[in-house]
Amino acid sequence: MGQKRISHRQIYISWWFALSLVVMTCLIFLDGYAHAHLASTDLWGVPTGGQNQILSHQIIPDPTDPLSAIHPTFDFTSDDSFQRYLDPSHPFQNINYVPADLAPINSNFTANDARKFELRQEAGDSFADMAWHFRDHFGGDRLSITSAYRSESFQKSLLKNWCSDDLCAKPGTSEHQAWLALDLSVVTKWGRTISMDKPNKYTDWLHAYAQAWGFHNTYQKGIAIDGKVVEWWHRRYLGTWFATLLFENNQTFAEYYKTVNR
């Protein structure tokens, strides 16, 4: 009864197996390293180096320019202003308002097909860049667009069917109707959908960085302040300058608006 001998063939297979294991481990490590270190960060600490950098996080105005110290004035009343203020007492001047610069959202980095949704060009381009950074930061987890534009009639049917006034805006007062707002969720790299109906690491990231792309969470402090319940999933485009100003003041749009329009 001799010992079972290991054949050359078995040794050869074991060697290849061990070698592939080492190579695969190295590749996974290098991928992680590249994610963590190769991307440099910009002024906001947001990783740069995107393939989809339509915008280069332009700060308007340039903070090195002494003229930028002049207090900004925003246009809260024109329907086509990116800072148009909308609430039940401030509806569109033109109830049939449609912006001239609508475009499908040009991104390959959202979980669902972004091109099925339209926003005003500048807002959509900025969102596309943010979607790339989001996916890069979370190693493959992607933003998913739940809703972008909602027509006046759709808004009416929402209110009629299941949405209360403090959740859905009255027709003619919705930021979605301005083609400037998005409702978002996340699909992980493993295909799991994560909603944003409560705070999580994704809403934290958006809260910390979205202003760098001009997006603001209009409804984050509740009915008493914003006139609507908290909507973690909602982001509205205001332009980088104004969104950053609100972020630095820790104010919502409604708070700022009430401060300057007392």
Q: Report the interface residues with Zn ion, using CB under 5 A.
A: 183, 234
CA distance 190 to 112: 14
Pick the closer one to Zn ion by CB: 79 or 183: 183
Residue pair 147/200 in contact by the 8 Å Cβ criterion? no
Choose between 135 and 236: whose C-beta lies nearer to Zn ion: 236
Query: Minimum Å distance from CB 117 to Zn ion?
Result: 12
Q: What is the DSSP string of the chain?
A: -PPPPPPHHHHHHHHHHHHHHHHHHHHHHHHHHIIIIIS-B-TTS-B---TT-S-----SS-TTSGGGGSPP----SSTT-TT---BTTB--SSTT---TTEEE---S-SSS-GGGSEEEHHHHHHHHHHHHHHHHHTTT-EEEEEE----HHHHHHHHHHT--TTTSPPTT--TTTTT-EEEEEEE-TTS-EE--SS--HHHHHHHHHGGGGTEE-SS-S-HHHHSS---TTEEEE--HHHHHHHHHHT--HHHHHHHHT-
When the beta carbons of 8 and 198 are compared against Zn ion, the nearer one is: 198
Residue of minimal CB distance from Zn ion?
Answer: 234
Q: Closest CB to Zn ion among 122 and 183? A: 183
Q: How far is the CB of 178 from Zn ion (least distance, A)?
A: 11
* Distance of closest approach, residue 191 Cβ to Zn ion, in angstroms: 24
C-alpha to C-alpha distance for 81 and 72, rounded to whole angstroms:
14
Q: Please, which residue, 183 or 255, has the CB nearer to Zn ion?
A: 183
Q: What is the nearest approach in angstroms of Zn ion to the Cβ of residue 131?
A: 17
Q: How far is the CB of 152 from Zn ion (least distance, A)?
A: 15
C-beta of 142 vs 176, nearer to Zn ion: 176
Minimum Å distance from CB 169 to Zn ion?
A: 8
